[in-house]
A and B are shown apart, each in its own frame.
Chain A
Amino acid sequence: MGHSTAELSDPQGPPHVHHMDAKTAYESAKFGMWLFLATEILLFGGLFCAFALFRWMHLDEFHAASKHLNVWMGGTNTVVLLISSYFAAMAVDAAQHGDNAKVRRNILITIGCAAIFLVIKYFEYSEKIHHGYLPWMFDKYSPEVAHLNEKYSVFFALYFCMTGLHGLHVLIGMALLGWVYSLAKKDRFSGRYYTPVEVGALYWHLVDLIWIYLFPLLYLVG
């Protein structure tokens, strides 16, 4: 499939060298991405399970530690990601209508939102690290602070693991969408071929889906 996708966009190219028609290639690529997203849910699923168990074991500490997260920053990032997902969906819509200029515009807004998300995350991380909430750093502080931070260490270990893995996905998503942008720049997409836009957007929506659960778990109910 991979070797034929670029040629499929070109109606002037040889039409019969492929071992499957364009529709089958599109459906297979999309199904492959859904399959991959299933493994992604399980990857995060292990962390969600760990969060559920440790929350049950240390409920009071989780409540207290959760209050140290900034709901406004987390909420803003939720809105930013939802808007980015909307523009990813609109990029697919534009590609379906064969409008490569609109694909580029929508993809750029999506990547811009991703960048805003990471900048806000950077400020959050800096503040948490400054307060000694990195699980392996709490003993670097005075005994009182260290004692307090140690109480929060399980929550913040999970916080950094879950948001860190999610942040990595944001970075990968940005790279993937950057590749889609470069294809749109070559006017590759039409109503008959837009697989990279659809598949890239699917990946981006998963990044949004994971955050939809992370935000209330980490920032609100703790």
Chain B
Amino acid sequence: MSTSQMVMYDEEFQEINAVIERLLKDSNSKVIFLVDKNGQLISGVGETERFDTTSLASLTAGNIAATGGLAKLIGEKEFSILFHEGEKDNLHISIVGGRVILVVLFDNRSSLGLVRLRVKKSSEELSTIFEKLMKKSEEQAKSGNSSFPFAEITDDDIDNLFS
């Protein structure tokens, strides 16, 4: 397989949320999302209930994938930052640690400069956490640790989902 499976544990989840909560305050933004490059929402803080987070995650990943394709066409590795300016709200989208997408939604109470500055600092912290997470899940996979809940499921469990 081309990429390893993404696994999230409680400990790292708390750490990640602490970083993006702080970023939310420091950058004076409205909502922050973390999305996996495949379009799965990892976490979100701020006024998340106002948004369709699942759709947002999928479209963000599509957006990053499309601009990544464009980048390759002109000989760039990727475009690591995207900025979308609206009448009221703006989106700052950046790639963290090569595999996760950080989405910051902000309005005129903040500014692009401030968001960029704060995102840069938080990205480094997030990269470290995700690196740790990747190592941890690789080790778990190698050791054949069966804390994985699906190891014991039965055919009946699966059939029940569709009943």
Query: Are A and B associated in one complex?
Result: no
* A residues at B contact (CB < 8 Å): none
